[in-house]
Structure 1
């Protein structure tokens, strides 16, 4: 009887290992990130037809307290019918709600965040990008270390609210023309690590990295905290392929830390009907080379 049970156990173990092996991508290749676009839901059909998998709307249009209940209900209906998955939003904190400096009103900020997060949960939004360059900008003459500590403490409280509503806040790096606080991925990693909250994570914006001449290697610091990416070409924030920007060094860094989440094109478009599909094809080609063909680490 004992030998029979041992034999059955071994057969089950072999079957389990074989099924796991067959589930891996051929040749041990890692799953590629999915491509999305930061755009209005008005462009959902066009984006879906062009090959985007997901679409990133704005808090301002979708979830903010200023959005009426009727409009919010209509937004949820549109999200549920959308061709692209809509699970993320940006344009989070308006400029008049300060996150650093003497004008911070914590109660107002947290009240605003709570409303946004309640609505995010109802709408199925699972991640909110914290760019908000004006809101987080350190006022002239204010001590940068005090501002950093102030932001970290407030961000933890914001993250507690996000946790309550099953959402993530993901802070992004913004170049120095947009804010004076956290201009690089390296700085963002330090802040996110200091906040040390599972519902406060990192968005790496490759366009802003390019504007700050930040090396791809800095993305290696983001392992374990990176949950989202934005991308655009350096000079005019144009769509991938317009100026033939080579993103492969940055994509290789993402691959090396095992990133396979969303990469959202946050670009300036002039003719979406003509530009969406070529942009998807261009970036997919570079992703495919880095993640599946080149084998680069």
Structure 2
């Protein structure tokens, strides 16, 4: 099995020009984005949970009817929910999200959600940690029910105060020892936290998903040489990583950017 490459569906601002951008529905964005990504040579599509959940029930049925498959999802819990508050409304949202994700053949849900998972300054850290661990345990049961893997995403200190390194995510994953919980490695967050890419070799048995971009600008990789991307790819190759790598970034020109990016990524990840 070899690495497969995916790309995140962007927002409506990257769609072809139209007189009124508001004319684009979330359904339009998913349909156009998924087609564009696959037509540019990617193996799969990634999407935010927020975009999926913003589709009306009627339009979601159209997504299913068109057999649109979205392998991975990110932005799991919106920031208006606070995980430590553990509200019924949050769990209603999460359960519906899992139901919808399963219907579009999802395999991975990335748990980043920096705003939602932040431990408040007025709470003892260990108390917040226990609440977040209980959240992950409960999500594992939903993940099992819907045959999806929950990938813990280490963020950076500007976005969260919980799980800031691949190593800490790995340690938590081993501590909880849950059937459907693994971890993610994101080049941008690792760069911000100055985490050595060598840690990938020590944690690869739990890494199920990877996010990539130009870590200096958080923009789409291009055909221009980038020493950080090459070093990241080398660490993954040396660790015999053979799963998914998704571009998660900002874009200047979505369609042209991702056409260049897939060429470059297939070259730097070639063994």
TM-score bin (small chain): 0.7 to 0.9
Q: 1:150-174: per-residue Cα shift (whole Å, max 9, x none)? A: 2112210111111011111111111
Number of equivalenced pairs: 250
In structure 1, the partner of 2:63 is 75
User: Matches of residues 1-297 of structure 1 in structure 2 within 5 Å?
Assistant: 31-40=1-10, 41=30, 42-62=32-52, 64=53, 67-78=55-66, 80=67, 82=68, 86-100=70-84, 104-241=85-222, 244-246=225-227, 247-288=229-270, 292=271
Secondary structure, in 3 states, of the residue corresponding to 1:220?
Answer: helix
Give how far 1:125 is off. 1.4
Give how far 1:108 is off. 3.6
Q: State the superposition RMSD in angstroms.
A: 1.9
Structure 2: runs of 5+ lacking an equivalent = 11-29
Structure with bigger gyration radius: 1
Provide the rounded CA distance (Å) in 1 between the counterparts of 2:34 and 2:99: 24
Provide the rounded CA distance (Å) in 1 between the counterparts of 2:110 and 2:92: 18
> Structure 2 length normalisation: TM-score?
0.85
> Structure 1 length normalisation: TM-score?
0.78
Provide the rounded CA distance (Å) in 2 between the counterparts of 1:176 and 1:190: 18
Structure 1: runs of 5+ lacking an equivalent = 1-30, 293-297
Q: 1:115-158: per-residue Cα shift (whole Å, max 9, x none)? A: 21122222211211111110001111222222112211221011
In structure 2, the partner of 1:24 is none
Provide the rounded CA distance (Å) in 2 between the counterparts of 1:121 and 1:49: 23
